[in-house]
């Protein structure tokens, strides 16, 4: 089978087209012309996203003894964002074209004097706060300004005391969540990479200051293992050590992970050492004691924090980009998403060989319902001939297709109650006994 890497300049366009055509991602508010920086996940896209979320939660929360999962409110007391520094400092450098009035991030321009769109003169640089404002209140003149959260981290810091009081954990321990965030990006771009409404998977890992360097190396290893579990290879990921002067104001060390996206290597996650910046600021602004009391020494201290962060939408794009393949199979060109089985939105599709033969359809329906009990992400497909079904399932990344034919019904006695299982990547087919089918597929998905 001849294969090429699909690194053509129009690779992103092909991926965007496939995502819409097959129900992964749609433009937000499309029937009204869309809204820049917003995207809607279709049935297959939301299934892929949920599979990534669930895999992350299993690895970083369910499989550990000292990580506590929470889900915090999007709207928070505005004093939270004053304490965190977001009200005064969460800004990007903005320039506006004096001719066409378009706005751009100055740090994304090669020439900060000339508009890249119309050639007009760019105005002076201004700082643009990226937080979305809204109001809480129902009486005119009494509304309170609040913000849609730009990050999930602060929800974990303000719940630090609740976790301490409820579960009495010992250092080190973590608080994790997956949540929606909002950033008023000046120039959203590159499909679902840079958007105004995003989801982040992250945890805050609280520890003693003296252990931060060893723990930093441990979490680097955990992040590498995570990316490997997604099917990424060493050449797909770069680790970027962020130098002094370029890190976030709260960070003493940061390593960003960049993935080889169709547009360029760009950030997919990062690990930051936030020191004790956040908890100390919340102690100062709230007046609440957020110290940790060591049960062995009875000494109080403000824990330091490591923050492994993962962009969920960027993970979806990375997984799709890695999986997108153009090759030839059986002398025919095809597009196939070579998704890892545990991430594939559809694990297997069940076909009757012919949809106009009631006995085949009834048997296939029985197989479909049997598998659905053990593997919920199973699809029924009887549209078109078998070859067209294969190509359609290849394009959405379904690892296995199961065909019920006349041999299944007993036309060939030794083949009775067996089905054909076809592999997405190789096209190889094997006959499998119905009694073994569910266990075989479950084992393949876990492999």
Instruction: Give the pLDDT of residue 2.
Output: 41
Of 320, 338, 366, the one marking the end of a domain is: 320
Q: How far apart are CA 236 and CA 258, in angstroms?
A: 8
Q: How far apart are CA 36 and CA 319, in angstroms?
A: 23
- CATH number of the CATH domain containing 176: 3.30.930.10
pLDDT band of 138, cuts 50, 70, 90: low
Same domain, 307 and 371: no
Average pLDDT, integer, range 158-165? 97
pLDDT band of 141, cuts 50, 70, 90: low
Encode pLDDT of 96-111 as tens digits: 787 787 777 777 777 7
Same domain, 176 and 248: yes
Of 302, 320, 338, the one marking the end of a domain is: 320
Is residue 100, in this structure, part of any structural domain at all?
no
CB atoms within 10 A of CB 25: 26
Is residue 139, in this structure, part of any structural domain at all?
no
Identify each DSSP E strand in 236-285 by its residue range: 237-241, 253-260, 265-275
Same domain, 269 and 414: no
Q: Rounded to two decimals, what is the model's pTM?
A: 0.90
Instruction: Give the pLDDT of residue 378.
Output: 97
| Helix ranges, 234-376 (H) | 277-286, 312-323, 358-374
Q: How far apart are CA 72 and CA 66, in angstroms?
A: 19
Encode pLDDT of 331-375 as tens digits: 899 999 999 999 999 999 999 999 999 999 999 999 999 999 999
Give the list of residues 6+ apart from residue 359 with CB closer than 8 angstroms, or none. 409
Domain count within the chain:
2
pLDDT band of 246, cuts 50, 70, 90: confident
Same domain, 315 and 356: no
b/e burial code for range 398-434 (CB count within 10 A of at least 16 → b): bbbbbbbbebbbeeeeebeebbbbbebeeeeeeebeb
- Check whether 431 has a pLDDT greater than 80: yes
Same domain, 300 and 436: no
Same domain, 371 and 421: yes
Same domain, 351 and 431: yes
- CATH number of the CATH domain containing 407: 3.40.50.800
Instruction: Give the pLDDT of residue 139.
Output: 62
Range of the domain at 233: 3-75+151-320
How large a percentage of the chain has pLDDT more than 70?
A: 96
Strand partners, 135: 145
Same domain, 395 and 298: no
- Please say whether the beta carbons of 198 and 185 come within 8 A: no
């Amino acid at each position: 089978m001849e294969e090429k890497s699909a690194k053509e300049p129009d690779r992103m366009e092909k991926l965007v087209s496939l995502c819409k055509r097959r129900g992964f991602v749609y433009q937000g508010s499309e029937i009204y012309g869309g809204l820049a920086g917003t995207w809607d996940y279709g049935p297959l896209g939301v299934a892929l996203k949920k599979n990534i979320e669930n895999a992350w939660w299993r690895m970083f929360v369910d499989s550990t003894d000292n990580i506590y999962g929470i889900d915090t409110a999007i709207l928070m007391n505005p004093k939270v964002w004053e304490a965190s520094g977001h009200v005064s400092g969460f800004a990007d450098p903005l320039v506006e074209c004096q001719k066409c009035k378009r706005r751009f991030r100055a740090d994304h321009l090669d020439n900060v004097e000339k508009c890249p769109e119309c050639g007009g003169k760019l105005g002076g640089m201004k700082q643009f706060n990226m937080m979305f404002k809204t109001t809480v209140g129902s009486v005119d003149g009494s509304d309170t300004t609040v913000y849609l959260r730009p990050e999930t981290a602060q929800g974990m810091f303000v719940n630090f005391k609740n976790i301490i009081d409820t579960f009495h954990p010992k250092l080190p321990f973590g608080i994790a969540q997956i949540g929606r965030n909002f950033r008023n990006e000046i120039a959203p771009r590159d499909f679902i990479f840079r958007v105004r409404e995003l989801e982040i998977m992250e945890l805050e890992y609280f520890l003693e200051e003296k252990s931060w360097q060893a723990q930093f190396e441990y979490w680097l290893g955990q992040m590498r293992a995570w990316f490997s579990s997604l099917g990424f290879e060493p050449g797909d990921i770069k680790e970027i050590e962020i130098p002094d002067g370029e890190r976030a104001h709260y960070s003493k060390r940061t390593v960003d992970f960049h993935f080889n996206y169709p547009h360029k290597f760009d950030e997919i996650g990062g690990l930051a050492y936030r020191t004790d910046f956040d908890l100390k600021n919340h102690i100062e602004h709230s007046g609440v004691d957020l110290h940790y009391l060591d049960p062995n020494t009875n000494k109080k201290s403000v824990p330091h924090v490591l923050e492994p962060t993962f962009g969920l939408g960027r993970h979806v794009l990375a997984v799709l980009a890695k999986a997108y393949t153009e090759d030839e199979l059986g002398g025919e060109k095809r597009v196939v998403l070579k998704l890892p089985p545990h991430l594939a939105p559809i694990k297997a599709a069940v076909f009757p060989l012919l949809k106009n033969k009631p006995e085949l359809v009834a048997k296939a329906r029985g197989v479909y319902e049997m598998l659905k009990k053990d593997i919920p992400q199973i699809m029924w497909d009887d549209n078109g001939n078998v070859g067209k079904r294969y190509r359609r399932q290849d394009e959405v990344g379904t690892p296995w297709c199961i065909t019920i034919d006349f041999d299944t019904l007993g036309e060939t006695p030794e083949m009775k109650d067996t089905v054909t299982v076809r592999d997405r990547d190789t096209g190889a087919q094997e006959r499998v006994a119905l009694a073994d089918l569910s266990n075989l597929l479950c084992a393949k998905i876990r492999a």
